[in-house]
Each structure stands twice: as structure tokens, then as C-alpha cells.
Structure 1
């Protein structure tokens, strides 16, 4: 049985130079390791208006060939004051040879996505392979997520969505910066 008072023997690492060392298959995505925060904008035809949000995304690993992914967001007003939680999701990115990625992402709203794609040239491009919905979840039929590490040190994020009878189209975009210490 694990002793909760003792330091965990295999902690998740938020940096490539932290123990445990990243698995070799993580090489194309080690630049993502850490916690990223920033602001973004969102829209969708079924929403009354555009919105602004604050986002935090964390990528970590435990030495095996996958990343742990966690993201959360809050709607904010024009002054940047949080209004309410907006989204939360977590999952795993399973790295394969040649930079291929299989991602499993779940949301508390009853949506589970399996996405596939690749990491190349400082960017990650993931698209829906399959979506599973709980009986009361809103209809989501597909998504595409792109992450780009820019030369200025930002992580740019774009999320396209096909949901509630709408075709795949822009939903979210954000520019994130790595938090200090990661």
C-alpha cells in the first residue's frame, strides 16, 4: 500500500531536464512540458456572442512514452476579472514513432475524444478519430486542435469544433506563456 506521507517515488516531471528523464518518443513534444497560461477568444454559431477566457494548460510526464494533459479555463470580463469556470479537460497523449500522436481527452460535460495526429516543425496537429458521449452530453461529432510553439516563446492554440449540427469550424484560440519555474 502506498504511504501518502512519503514522497511519491515516481513524480510527474514538468521539464525535460527533471527526473524522470523523458522517454525518447517524447522528443518532438518536450517543448510543451510545463504549465502555460494566457488569454483567448471563443465563438460559435450557437452562442449569442464572442467571449474572452483565461486558460491554464499543463503537460507533464513520468518517464513513459506519453504526456499527461490537463487544461482548464474561466470566462473573464473586459477587465480580466474571472466570471465563472468555462471548461476543464484532462487526458493523455500517447507518442508513437515518427512523431505520431494518439490523444485521449475527457471533459466533465460527458465528452470523450480520441484524436490522432502528429508533431512536426514545432507544431502539433490533432484531429478527431472518435467521439464518445454520455446520454446527456451535447452532440459533438469532431474537432481539430493545433498547438504551435512560436519563436517568441508563446504556445499558440487553436480549436475547431463540429457540434450540435454545425460543421467543423473555428471555436477557440489562445496565446499562452510558460509559467516561471517550468
Structure 2
């Protein structure tokens, strides 16, 4: 597939706005501007009346209020969908992605990604990966992320905001199960809102001592 058919999204870091502090009102206003067409949509609740906990929400207008400690991550909350490119140890392929970033009022974000392969015409061609985890951030803007991948990977990443619209992460520990990928080095990720308010992300991995592109995608907000 040619580069023109499935372009790699621009770097979120290059597209992000200049860094400055956000107070609560500014953060909410920014999110509202980015989601005018999707503000009425949300993920469904579990519906278990006996559960004494709030349902997850991917919509800042519905459900529990976002924890004050998460303001620096607020723009990530929502449901995102789009496509990207992967290069897994020389195997190049296009993929679709559905990403849900939600919260339940506590001081963490829930992160859940599903990807599927696309054929040369952009049609779904079977499941690829699932990844679930949690994002936390300290009062000093130190981001902590824990991720579990359906291929048999567990990863801890640390990072920091680049500015109010972009966040960078770096592997601190990557564990592969006995049946997991034979080769999956540590890496770096960058997530960021682009000028069109889509969410772009890039994942690079160490191969033979050098960071090389692994996966990247551009996702459009569809809910929240």
C-alpha cells in the first residue's frame, strides 16, 4: 500500500499548541470546543444496580466529575476512532483503531484500545491487538501508565505533558510472557491533539539499539 493511501499522521508534538498552564474553566472550555459534534454520545454503563461504584464515563458532561488531579490529561477523555500504520519487525500493515479513554471520578484514567487489520482497499481484515491500562499523573505532572496487551505484554511507562495538548511516555519496564512476542523492545510514545482536534499518536521501539517506528495513527473523536 502506498504512502499516499495511508499517510502516517504528523507528529503530535509538532502540531501541539505552545505550552501554558490551564485552570479548570479553561480546560473544560477547550474540551467543549473540541467535541461540539460528539457531546451527546457516551459509552454505555454496566447497569449493575448492586454495584456501589460509579459507571465509567467517556463524556465530561455525563457521570461523575473528573478528578481535579486529572486536568492535565482532560483532553484525552473520549471515544476515538481512526486508522494507522504498523511496522512489526519488518511486517508492514495498515490498521483500524477504536480507543476509549474514560474515568469513574477517581484519580486515574482508564485506557482501552482495540485494533484490527485493514486490507489494501482499507476494508477490515481481522482482529489485531487489544490493550488495556490506566493513566495517572502526579501533582508534579509526572505521568505513570500501566498497560497490558493481548499478545502477552505488560508495560510500565513514565512521562510528562509536552504542553496542554500533547503527552510523551517512555518505557520503564516491559515484560513478555512465555507465549508473547519473541522480540519487543522498550520504546517511546507520543500522544497529541492535532490542529484539526484529531488525536494523533506515535509509538517507537528499540530494534538493534535504535528507536524505529512501530505504530502510529490518527483518530477522530466520535463520543465525549
Cα distance between partner residues in 2 of 1:69 and 1:166: 29
> What is the TM-score of this pair, normalised by structure 1?
0.88
> What is the TM-score of this pair, normalised by structure 2?
0.73
1:82 to 114, 121, 124: 124
Find the counterpart in structure 2 of residue 47 from structure 1: 90
Cα distance between partner residues in 2 of 1:120 and 1:47: 30
Find the counterpart in structure 2 of residue 105 from structure 1: 147
Structure with the greater relative contact order (CA < 8 A, sep ≥ 6): 1 or 2? 2
Find the counterpart in structure 1 of residue 79 from structure 2: 35
The Cα shift of 1:18 comes to: 2.3
Show structure 2 runs of 5+ residues with no match. 1-46
**Conservation of the 8 A alpha-carbon contact between 1:35 and 1:58:** yes
Is residue 2:49 matched to residue 1:6? Answer: yes
Bigger strand fraction: 1
Bigger helix fraction: 2
Q: Superposition RMSD on alpha carbons, in Å? A: 2.0
Find the counterpart in structure 2 of residue 169 from structure 1: 212
Show structure 1 runs of 5+ residues with no match. none
Deviations along 1:7-51, one digit per CA (max 9) or x if unpaired, are 75401111223221111111011111111000111224x324x21
**Conservation of the 8 A alpha-carbon contact between 1:143 and 1:162:** yes
The Cα shift of 1:5 comes to: 4.9
Structure 2 counterpart SS, 1:168? strand
The Cα shift of 1:177 comes to: 0.4
- Show the 5 A alignment for 1:142-181: 142-162=186-206, 165=208, 167-179=210-222, 181=223
Structure 2 counterpart SS, 1:27? helix
94-103 or 21-30: bigger deviation = 94-103
Structure 1 counterpart SS, 2:73? helix
What is the total number of aligned residue pairs between the two structures? 176
166-175 or 74-83: bigger deviation = 166-175
